Structure 1
C-alpha cells in the first residue's frame, strides 16, 4: 500500500515537470478528443470565472514576469498562451459526427438526462437544448454548478476556456448551434467535456481503491507534512531548472527518502510483496495461457448481436405485416369501387344498346334530325346545369350533414354528460336514491321539441329543489364540467381535422380512380415481392434462431467447465493457504521452544558461574589468610 502511494506521488511529480521536447506521438491522435492537464492525480475543475477576468497566476500564486531577471525562458508559457491549436478531429466527416452523436446519446441516457432525447434533436439542436446538455454534463464535475440565466452565449465559451478546452468555440456560433457549420464544433466540445468526466470518475475510483492508506481518516498525502515536502522539492527542482540544469537526481533521492520516513515504508515488506506479486503474475499468465481466449465472452457478444438482429427482423416483419394489411384494405376498397363502377358501366352500355336499337328501328327526316339535335343540345345544357346544381346541392347537403353531425355529437356529449352526472348523483334511473320517483333521463330521439322543452322545465324545477341540499357536490360537478368542456372542444377540433383528412382522402380516391389499372398491376407485383421477402425473412429468422440456440448451449457448457476449473483452483489455493498456515504455526512453536530451552540453559550457566565465583572467592580468602600467617611468622623470626 505504501508503494502504491509513492507511485502515485511520483506520477503526480512527473506530470508537473515541463516538457522540453514536444511529443510527436500526440499528433497522430486523429479520432480522439484532446484531454485536459491534471495535477496531483486529480482532475482540476475550477469554478468558472467571469468573462472579464483576464489575470493569470503562476503555480506559486504570483503573476508571471519576464525580463532580464529571468535567467532563461520558461517553456511552460505554452499552457497559458493565446496560440490557436488546429483541431485534428474529423468533425466535418459525417460518419465521425454520427458516432459522436451516438456516444452523446448513450452518455446522457445512462446518466439520466431529464430532457427529451431523440436522434432528430441531436442532429441539429437549438441553443437552449445545447445549454441544457452542457449544464447537465458540467454538473457531473461540479454538482453545485448552476447556469446563469443571462448572457449564456458568452458564458459557455468562457467556461470552456476556463477549464482549458484546447480549441476555440466562438460566441457567434452559440447563437445558431444547430447550424450545419457550427454544430460539429459544439459537438466536439461536448465530447471533450464527456471525456473529462470519465477521467474524473476513473480517478475517483482510484482514490477509493487506496482509501485505506491512512488511519483514522487522516489523509497524509493531502496533509501539511506532505505538502511541505512536495513544495520544497518543487521549489528546489524549479530553481535548478531555471538555472539551466535538466537532471534532478539528488532532489529525487532526497524527496523519496523523506517520503519513506514520512510514510514509515518497510523496504523488506515491499520486497516480499513484490516477489509475491511476481509469483502471482506468473501464475495468472500461466492460467491465461491455459484458458487461451475467452470464448464465452465472444459467444455472449455474438448472442447479443443476434438478439439485436432478431429484434430488428421482428420489427421489420411487423411493419411489413401492417403495410400488407393496409394494402389489402386499400385493395378491397378499390375492388368494391371497381365493382360498382363496372355495374354502372354495364347498365349504361345496356341503355346505350337499347337506344341504338330504337334509333335503327325509327326513320327520321332531316328536319326531325335537326330538331332532335337542337333538343339534344338543349337537353345537354339542361343536364349540365342540373348536374352543376346537383353537385352544389350535394355539397350543401354534405356541409349540412357535417354540421348536423357536429351538433348531434355535441348534443349526445351533453346528454351523456348529463346522464353521467345524474348517475353519479343517483338520479337515474327512476328508482334511484335521489330521483324521488321522478324520471330525469333525457331521450332526445323519442320526443319532439315541445315535449323536450317541457321535460327540461320540469327537470329544472326538480333540480332546483335538489341544489339546496347538494351545494358542495355542485361545486365539484362544476369543476368536472369545465374539464369536460375542454375535452369537448378538443374533440370538436379533432372532428374538424378528421373532416379535412376526409376531403383529402376523397381527392386521393379520385386520383386513384384514374390510375386504377396501373395500380392494380403494381399492387400484384408488390404483393409477390413482399411474399418472397417475407418467406426469405422467415427462413433467415429460423436459421438465426438455430444458430443462437447452438451458440448458447455451447457457451453454457463452457461456462460450466470454467466454473469447475475455478472451484478446483480455489480448492488448491485454500489447501496451499492451510499448508502455509500450518508451517508458520510449527515454525513459531519451534522458535518458542528454542527460546525457552535457551533461557533455561542461560539460567543454569549463570547459576554455575555464580557457584564457581563464590568457590573461587572462598579459596582466595583462605590463601590470603595463609600468606598473612606466613608473613607474621617470618616477622617473628626476624625479630
Structure 2
C-alpha cells in the first residue's frame, strides 16, 4: 500500500525537463489537485499520512480542475501558490461568534469533554485550553491521535492544513489564542473541524457513494496503480520521442478511471447545478437584507416619542414630590399653631392666678416669697419661650438644608440622565440600551429600588464589556477604515474634554460632600450641647422648687407660734395658698415635660430626615462615581 502511494506521488510530479512545445492543454496537473478544491468520494482523510492517497483518488473528477483543458503552467499552483482564500464567514460579528461558542459548548458537552468547560471560559480561552479542545475534537476522527508536548503552535496549523482547512491559521496567533483579534479565527477553525467530524460520522453511518471504493479498496488500489503505471510509461515513452501533448492518452486514462470508480457524470452535473442555484439564492437574499432609511426614521421617531413620555413621567413625579413637601409643611404649621395656642392658655392661667393672689391677704414675707417665685417662673417661661423660638429657627434651617440637598441630588441625577442620553442608554428603546431600563427614578426607596439600582449597575458593567468588545472589533478593521479612524480620533478628543469637565465636577461634588458632612457633625454637636443644657436647667428648677417648699414649711411653723390667735383663719388661708401653689407647680412641670417631649420628637424627625437625605445623596454620588469611572476607562481605551 505504501509503495503504491509513493509510486503515485512520484508519477504525478511534472517533468522537470523544459517543454519543447508550449501547450495549454495538459492533463498531468490533475494529479496534483489540492485537497481544498476537491470533494472526497467515499473515504475521509483522517491523518496526514493518508492525504496523498485521498488526493490522487479524487482529483480526476472535480469540476474544471482536471482533464485536457488544464494548463501545464499550473502544475504546482495548488501547493506552492501564494494566493489566499478570503474567509466569507462573519468571524468579527459578535452575534455570529456567540452562536459559534454555543455550538462548540454543546458539542463538547454532548460528547463527554473530560475537563471543566463553561461558556464564560470560551469567551477568551488560553492556548492550553485551545490545544485540549483541538485534541479532543481531532480524536473524534483519529482515536489514536496524541498531541505533542512541544511546538504545538506549529503542529496545530499543520494538522488543519493536512485535513484541507482552506484558510490560514498563522503560527504567531497560537501564542495568544484568547486575544480578541485572534480568537475568532481560532474559533472558526474549531467549527470547521467540528463540521468535518460530523460529515465523517454521517458518511460512516450510511452507505458510501462508491461502494466498490469501500468494500474492495485493496483491489481498486492495485488496479489504480496498474493504470497509472501504464499511463505514465506510455506518455513518458512518447515524451522521449518528442511528443509533448497526450490528449488521446488522457481521455483513455480518464475513461478507465471513471469506469474503475463508477463515477456518475449526471450526478456531478446535477450537484454543480444545485450549487449554482443555491449561490444565486444567497446573493439575492444578501441584497434583500439592506436596511431601509424609512424604517430607521420611523425607529428614530419612536425613540423621540418614548423620550417625551419619560419626560412627562418625570414631571409628574416632581409634582407629586412637591405636593408631599407642601403637605409636610402644612403639618408643621399646624403643630406650630397648636403650640402657640397652648402658650396662650398658659398665659391666661397665669393672669388668673395673679388676680387670685392680688385679692388674697398675705404677710410681707408671703408677698416677698410669692414675688420671688413669680420672678423665677417668669424667667422659666422666658427661657422656655426662647428655646421654642430657637427650635423653630433650627427647624427652618434644617428645612432649607434639606431643600438644598434635594436640589444637589436632582442636579446629579440630571447629569447622569444627560450622560446616559448622550451615550444612547435611555430610554428603553435607545440604540445602546438593548431593551433594558437604565433610567434612575427619584424619590423611591426600599429594597426594590436597591435591587433595581444593583441590576442597573450590572447592566452598565455588561454594556461596558460589550463596548470593549466592539472597540476590539473596530481595531481589527482599522486598516480598511482609515477615514472612520480619523473621525474616531476627533471623537476621542471631544470625550477627553468631557472627561476633564466631569473630573472637575466630581472634585467639586466631593468638596461639597465633605463640607456638608462637617456641617452636619457640627450641628449634631450643637444639638447635644443644647440637650445637655436643657437637662441641667430642668434639674436646677427642680432643686429650686424643693428649696422653696422647705422654706415655706418653716415659715408656716413660725407663723403658727407667733399668730396662735388667728390660727384658724391662717390655716384656712394656708391650705388655699398651698393648693394654688401645688396646681401652679403641677402645671409648670407638665408644661415642661410636654415641651421637652415635643422638642425630642422634633429633633428625632429632623435627624431622620437629614440622615435619609444624606444616605440618598451618598448613594447617588456613589452611582455617579461608578458610572464616571466606567466611562473614564472606556475613554482611555479609546
Q: TM-score, normalised by structure 2?
A: 0.32
Q: TM-score, normalised by structure 1?
A: 0.32
